[in-house]
Amino acid sequence: MFSPHTACDNASSGVNDWLAEAFATDSSQVKPVEPTKLPEYPGAGSGRVITLPQPLSLQEAVDKTKQHLGLTHVRLSIAETHLPAEASAEKISKAMTLPGTVKKVGVQAGSGGSVLKCSGADLWLTGECGHHDVLAAAAEGVSVILTDHTNTERGFLKRMASQLGEALSKAGHSDVPILISSRDADPLQVV
């Protein structure tokens, strides 16, 4: 049994690379947050930072996230530099549509606060993050998109199945079935 957690996130083929595809149009825009010193996996590391060719508004970033992950909603913390402390719906809407506020996006599948705080990104995309990490990010001018933990991983399973199938086939085991759970879903519901 494999899961995104057991996948080696080597350059351009792991779960964080898949997550980065929400924003990256070219792999040269994507860099590891913390490069791993494993010679057999050049460019490996936890998390990815995407330098955008053209800056986005927060609304555009939220829309790209929802589309890539197939979600109808996400949670968003808006950087204090873009949103005054007393936030009305009008002020939130204005902050969401400010052009060019997102230049670098840090992504980390699962729980990413500890990794992304050293990413240098002005927007984090992760499944979950500690309350105090979100507060610290906002105070430092970083917005945070939270999708719930497994939503940053589930979409990668089809690609992972394909990668495993190719590896098994090359090893002479093309008859090994690869199944993806049809019952897997996020355990949390918005009610």
- pLDDT tens-digit series, residues 68-85: 999 999 999 999 988 876
Q: What is the pLDDT of residues 138-171, one digit of tens each?
A: 999 999 999 999 899 888 888 888 888 898 999 9
Please, what CATH class does the domain formed by 4-170 belong to? alpha beta
Q: Domain segments of the chain: what residues?
A: 4-170
Phi-psi region of 118 (alpha: psi -120 to 50; beta: other; left: phi over 0): alpha
Residues 23-46 have pLDDT tens digits of 998 888 999 886 555 556 655 567
Angle between helix axes 58-69 and 89-97 (nearest 10 degrees) is 80
Full-model pTM? 0.86
d(CA 116, CA 129): 10
Which amino acid appears at position 172 of this protein? G
CB 50 within 8 A of CB 9: no
